[in-house]
Amino acid sequence: MTMERTFSIIKPDATKRNITGKVVSMLEDGGLRVVAQKRIRMTKEQAEEFYGIHRDKPFFGGLVEFMISEPVIVQVLEGENAVERNREIMGATNPDNAVAGTIRKELALSIGENTVHGSDSVENAKTEISFFFSDMEIVG
């Protein structure tokens, strides 16, 4: 059993539609535990740095504008194989390709407004968690 932590964002399309509780329920029902969580308004600088790997992509500007358009909820999730488990619960980036029952299939509006972000590796999870949370804010 590998207990892990992963980083999650409930995105502006979800806070705007007031469906953040539904997202949390799906994460918890999937076996993950919320060990840190806060509602923030991301700054443009934070969004540009957080998504810096996509800086050269055509969707970068739109992605940043979307992420700062409404509040988001940043989270640390804990559980067995949490990185991979969270990716299963979220479903494919594009909701059209996501499996039924996943967050993105059931709730996402489009590939851009896709309701949740989750780390894609244990290494990136550590970086992303420390981008938004201090150790003291994570209570397992």
Active centre residues (catalytic): 117
| Contact between residue 85 and residue 1 where contact means Cβ atoms under 8 Å apart | no
Per DSSP, the chain holds a count of helices (H) and strands (E) of 7, 4
Smallest distance, ligand CMP to C-beta of residue 123, A: 16
Among 73, 85, 66, CA closest to 6: 85
5 interacts with ligand CMP by CB under 6 A: no
Taking CB under 6 A as the rule, which mask of x and - marks residues 19-58 in contact with ligand CMP?
Answer: -----------------------------------x----
Instruction: List contacts with ligand CMP (CB under 6 A).
Output: 54, 59, 63, 93, 111-112, 114, 117
